[in-house]
């Protein structure tokens, strides 16, 4: 049981690393200080882009990682 949880934990960690590395950097934080606005059609329709899917996959992988870590702590 512990071995199976550990294997799935490692797979979720690797998947989370890959999805984070595939995401592009977000430079809106610095440009917001200078008064520039990054609003465009593409930023408003961001939920349908590859970036949104990668962000969702990262959140799911992080949730699975945390849940499995807690479960592994309880089982041991």
Residue range 7-64, pLDDT digits in tens: 999 999 999 999 999 988 765 555 555 655 555 555 556 667 888 899 999 999 999 9
User: Does residue 59 fall inside a structural domain?
Assistant: yes
User: Does residue 1 fall inside a structural domain?
Assistant: no
What pLDDT does residue 12 have? 96
pLDDT at 70 over 90: yes
What pLDDT does residue 21 have? 93
User: Does residue 66 fall inside a structural domain?
Assistant: yes
User: Does residue 22 fall inside a structural domain?
Assistant: no
What pLDDT does residue 76 have? 84
CA distance 43 to 41: 6
Residue 75 domain boundaries = 49-76
What pLDDT does residue 4 have? 94
* Number of independent structural domains in the chain: 1
User: Does residue 9 fall inside a structural domain?
Assistant: no
Neighbours of 16 (CB within 10 A): 19
């Amino acid at each position: 049981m512990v071995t199976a949880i550990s294997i799935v934990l490692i797979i979720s960690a690797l998947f989370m690393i890959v999805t984070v590395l595939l995401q592009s950097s977000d430079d809106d934080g610095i440009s917001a200080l200078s008064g520039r606005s990054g609003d465009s059609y593409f930023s408003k329709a961001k939920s349908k882009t590859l970036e949104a899917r990668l962000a969702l996959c990262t959140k799911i992988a992080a949730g699975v990682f945390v849940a499995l870590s807690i479960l592994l702590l309880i089982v041991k």
